[in-house]
Amino acid sequence: MTSPFDARPDEAIGRLLREHLGGADSVVFAARVRAAIAGEADTAWDVLARWARPGLVAAAAVALTVGLWLRIGSGGEMESITLADAVQAAGVPEALLTAPSSSSADAVLAAIVGDQ
């Protein structure tokens, strides 16, 4: 009989433990572990996705708040701008705006070239 003090493995006990302990199919178990790892990665993306929407909402809320604050800070000095004011500021020829019917392409070009 092998001495219990032997520095070598006891083959009989080792074989018995290997045969009777632990599951059978390592490939199936490995597939299970890999699926768990993949699931963990999905979970990480899910966490990011969960954070993304509230993050966008928060950013929008901050932008609105800042805009409102700037507007209030300006003390209502901003005047309302009409379409005619904007068009005039952009230098659109008056003839195009006051014409009774839609202008032809020649009239538009002539007005623009003449304005240059």
Partner 1 sequence: MRTTDVTDAELAARAAGGDGDAFGELVVRHAPAARRAATVVLSSDADADDAAQDGFLAAWRSIDRYDGNRPFRPWLMRIVVNAARDFRRRRAVRQTDELSPGLASGAAGPERSAERLLLRERLVEALRLLPERQRLAVTMFDAEGFAHAEIAEVLGVPEGTVRSDVFHARRTLRGALAPFYEEMK
CB closer to partner 1 out of 12 and 59: 12
Contact residue for partner 1 among 10, 108, 110, 111 (CB under 8 A): 10
Task: Report d(CA 14, CA 21) in Å as an integer.
Answer: 10
CB closer to partner 1 out of 19 and 79: 19
> What minimum distance in Å lies between the beta carbon of 14 and partner 1?
4
One-letter identity of residue 39: G
Q: Is 4 in the site for partner 1 (CB under 8 A)?
A: yes
Handedness of CA 11, 12, 18, 21 (dihedral sign): negative
Q: Is 30 in the site for partner 1 (CB under 8 A)?
A: yes
Q: Is 89 in the site for partner 1 (CB under 8 A)?
A: no
Residue 90: which of 54, 115, 61, 114 has the closest Cα?
Answer: 115
Handedness of CA 18, 24, 25, 30 (dihedral sign): negative
Instruction: List contacts with partner 1 (CB under 8 A).
Output: 1, 4-5, 7, 9-18, 20-24, 26-27, 29-30, 32-34, 36-38, 40
